[in-house]
Amino acid sequence: MRPSANIIPLALVGLVVTGIVGFIVVVLFISWFSNPPFGLGNAPAQPIDFPHTVHAGSPAEGGVGIACEFCHRNVTEGAAATVPAVEQCLFCHQQVNPENLVADASHDGHGHNDLAGDLAEMQRVVDKFNDNDPIDWERVHRLPDHVRFVHEAHLRFLTQGEPRTVSLPIGDGQPMQLPVPVGQACSVCHGDVASMEEVQPQPGQSLKMGTCVDCHRELNAPTDCTICHK
Amino acid sequence: MVTSRAKHKWGMVVDLDRCNGCQACVVACQAENNLPINDKNAFLQSRAYEWIRIERYWEGEYPNVRARFIPVLCQHCENAPCEPVCPVFATYHSAEGLNVQLYNRCVGTRYCINNCPYQVRFFNYWHPNWPERLENQLNPDVTVRTRGITEKCTFCIQRLRRAELQVERRGGGTLNNETLKSGNYMPSCVQACPTNALMFGDQQDEQSPIKPYFDDVNKHNIHHEHERETRGYRLLEEMNTKPNLIYLKKVDKNPVKGGQHG
């Protein structure tokens, strides 16, 4: 048999195999180095349109400036930051709802133009409360089940103690003056949530194990496996 | 601010004179650490497991028979035979003297199980199952181990971490016998033991109730066992695994001749 007889099918097989392997390598490469992989998991669709800009944004920028820990009340007291119960939304929205507000084009409410749409969303919150229904918020920052993360301990480090300067290997990496208020402490890992219409993980603030360990090493925090893994 | 952890060396003392084999520790451990229910099938295949088990020995001939009990759990050896054989470093010795098993690193080679002289490491041959309602009682602080990985006693490290957090919350400091007591920290088997046969503490802490036993046993090694002032001994001491667990001999004024395992 002449060697050239099978060269075309062989080359085809070689090309296909190279293509498949190359595709897998590229997919693995991108998913390892991009966070989240391919943008998946970015800003999941929430059941109710909740703009953090309005609730947590500073009054100068058209927000009402509610502190993070007012709604995420457990954040300074326990492991989970917790999402508030619907009752807590009603603290304000018992008054701030379509019953008391009228969609008026002249009053565009906190820089939003679509007040009618906002009122409809508010009505959904009130409806949820009246129906005794929880709101099924979609989780944005998800940690694996075998990881134990305690918000309380991290906030204690960032918001208490004597004044000191640290450079955290997360976010922009600039030296930081500690202690900081709780709101700023949250931004270290979560980004400036108060300026986000939709909350999503920020570049450079991947909540991967490498980020945790970098920070723990930098600050001489314990790096024993059982500190975080359970 | 941050609780200092470096100095700890945890240890446990099991007083066999007080153990009456009630198995409360076994149940407590199972509830605390998300252990699956051992059903009949698991026993028939010899694959039922408990992180702490009560070994039972019979002494004497009928009708003059006595039962002896030894609770056996992970000995947290200083020279642990399970550690060097793991190809993926899923088991290692922490600075606090604990033998740690990392479930998410484990690939299930079972080398550690085969190398453990105490038979206190267990392999998940199946995905763990609980009756539907019992799934709601799973401890959120402990991973539910999947099929194909090894697991073992952790000295309830999740409770230890919680105790550290409590100490921090109250203004920092070291985790010592006093703060352990006030934080109510102890492994669940120790907490459940009705006769206080199990004692837990820090070997470095002067106030700790276990320290005298460890000092005594460490001072006189296996070759000078008769010089020991306490009843302390270690399981399979001649293997030099140096467990962080010490057993206290049962005092028997009228021993029965002849024993058997069963």
Nearest one of B234, B232, B235, B187 to B212, comparing CA atoms = B232
Taking the C-alpha atoms of residue A151 and residue A69, their distance in angstroms, rounded to an integer, is 11
pLDDT of residue B1: 42
Percent of chain B with pLDDT over 70: 91
Strand B245-248 with B10-15, pairing: parallel
A104 pLDDT higher than 70: no
Contacts of B229 (CB under 8 A, 6+ apart): B216
Helix (H) or strand (E) holding A164: strand A164-167
Q: Which residues of A touch B161 (CB under 8 A)?
A: 148, 226-227, 230
Taking the C-alpha atoms of residue A66 and residue A46, their distance in angstroms, rounded to an integer, is 20
pLDDT tens digits along B94-151: 888 899 999 999 999 999 999 999 999 999 998 888 888 888 889 989 999 999 999 9
Helices (H) and strands (E) in chain B, counts: 7, 11
Average pLDDT in chain A: 84
Domain ranges of chain A: 7-39
Phi, psi of B79 (to 5 degrees): -105, 70
A25 pLDDT higher than 90: yes
Please, which residues bridge with residue B191 across strands? none
**Which of A22-26, A30-34, A167-171, B190-194 is the least confident region?**
A30-34
CA of A55, closest CA in chain B: separation in Å? 30
CA of A105, closest CA in chain B: separation in Å? 50
Q: Are B194 and B19 in contact (CB under 8 A)?
A: no
Phi, psi of B164 (to 5 degrees): -60, -40
Q: Which residues of A touch B1 (CB under 8 A)?
A: 156-157, 160-161
pLDDT tens digits along A135-155: 999 888 878 888 999 999 899
pLDDT of residue A14: 93
| CA B122, B126, B127, B130 torsion-angle sign | negative
| Nearest CB to B165 within list A146, A153, A222 | A153
Strand B53-59 with B259-261, pairing: antiparallel
Task: Give one DSSP letter per residue of A51-68, joined into a string.
Answer: -HHHHHS-GGGT-----H
pLDDT tens digits along A39-74: 555 677 888 988 899 899 888 888 888 999 999 999
Find the mean pLDDT for residues A223-230: 89
Q: What is the pTM of this model?
A: 0.81
| pLDDT band at residue A112 under the 50/70/90 scheme | low
Q: At what angle do helices A151-159 and A182-190 cross, to 10 degrees?
A: 120
Q: Which residue has the higher pLDDT, B5 or A123?
A: A123
Taking the C-alpha atoms of residue B163 and residue B10, their distance in angstroms, rounded to an integer, is 14
| pLDDT band at residue B173 under the 50/70/90 scheme | low
pLDDT tens digits along B63-92: 888 889 999 999 999 999 999 999 999 999
| Nearest CB to A224 within list B95, B104, B143 | B95
Interface residue B95 vs chain A (CB under 8 A): yes
Nearest CA in chain B to A151: B165
| Nearest CB to B168 within list A156, A224, A226 | A156
How far is CA B55 from each of CA A123, B34, B200, rounded to the nearest angstrom? 64, 22, 20
| Nearest CB to B165 within list A150, A226, A230 | A150
pLDDT of residue A41: 55
- Residue type, position B89, single letter: F
Interface residue B1 vs chain A (CB under 8 A): yes
- ipTM value greater than 0.90: no
Average pLDDT in chain B: 88
Write the CATH number of the domain with boundaries B10-252: 3.30.70.20
Find the mean pLDDT for residues B157-174: 81
pLDDT of residue A169: 82
Based on its alpha-carbon atoms, the radius of gyration of chain B, rounded to whole angstroms, reads 19
How far is CA B67 from each of CA B52, B199, B255, rounded to the nearest angstrom? 18, 22, 12
Longest dimension (CA), chain A: 90
Q: Are B18 and B185 in contact (CB under 8 A)?
A: no
- Residue type, position A139, single letter: R
Based on its alpha-carbon atoms, the radius of gyration of chain A, rounded to whole angstroms, reads 24
Angle, vertex CA B11, rays to CA B10 and CA B12, nearest 5:
145
Find the mean pLDDT for residues B15-23: 93
Nearest CA in chain B to A148: B141
Please, which residues bridge with residue B246 across strands? B13
Interface residue B7 vs chain A (CB under 8 A): no
pLDDT tens digits along B25-61: 999 999 999 999 888 988 999 899 999 999 999 888 8
Interface residue B169 vs chain A (CB under 8 A): yes
Other Cβ atoms less than 10 A from the Cβ of A148: the count is 19
